[in-house]
């Protein structure tokens, strides 16, 4: 039997980053505050996890306005989609033995 965890992506070990990605897969764009409320996080905590995902180029940021109010939204990148899918495939392979 080979190492069942070797293909899991370390970035997605975090439940929060997993949650962000899962939200971004179904919402092609979501705001900082919506995400914050959805995942029940403090600003700093969310911001740092978003930063990790951005560094990995799994998500990208859009800074814009709603009317004249600033609004930051996030979306998943092609690379992010691919990496997330690969992770889920690895997870599935790992547990399909059930």
Residues that bind DNA (CB under 7 A): 10, 13-14, 16, 31-33, 41-45, 47-52, 61, 63, 67-72
Is there a contact between 38 and 21 (Cβ–Cβ < 8 Å)? no
* Cβ closest to DNA, residue 72 vs residue 82: 72
Angstrom CA distances, 33 to 30, 57, 67, stand at 9, 21, 17
Q: Cβ 95 to DNA, closest distance in Å?
A: 19
Question: Using H for helix, E for strand and C for coil, what is the string for 6-38?
Answer: CCCCHHHHCHHHHHHHHHHHHCCCEEHHHHHHH
| Per-residue interface string for the shown chain with a second copy, residues 38-57, x marking contact by CB under 8 A | xxx-----------------
* Cβ closest to a second copy, residue 13 vs residue 57: 13
Q: Cβ 55 to a second copy, closest distance in Å?
A: 20
């Amino acid at each position: 039997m080979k190492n069942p965890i070797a293909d899991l992506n370390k970035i997605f070990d975090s439940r929060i980053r997993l949650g962000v990605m899962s939200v971004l897969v179904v919402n092609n764009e979501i705001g900082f505050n919506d995400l914050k409320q959805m995942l029940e996080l403090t600003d700093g905590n969310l911001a740092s996890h978003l930063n990790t995902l951005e560094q990995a180029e799994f998500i990208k940021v859009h800074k814009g306005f709603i009317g004249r109010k600033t609004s930051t939204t996030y979306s998943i990148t092609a690379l992010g989609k691919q990496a997330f899918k690969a992770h889920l495939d690895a997870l599935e392979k790992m547990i399909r033995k059930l």
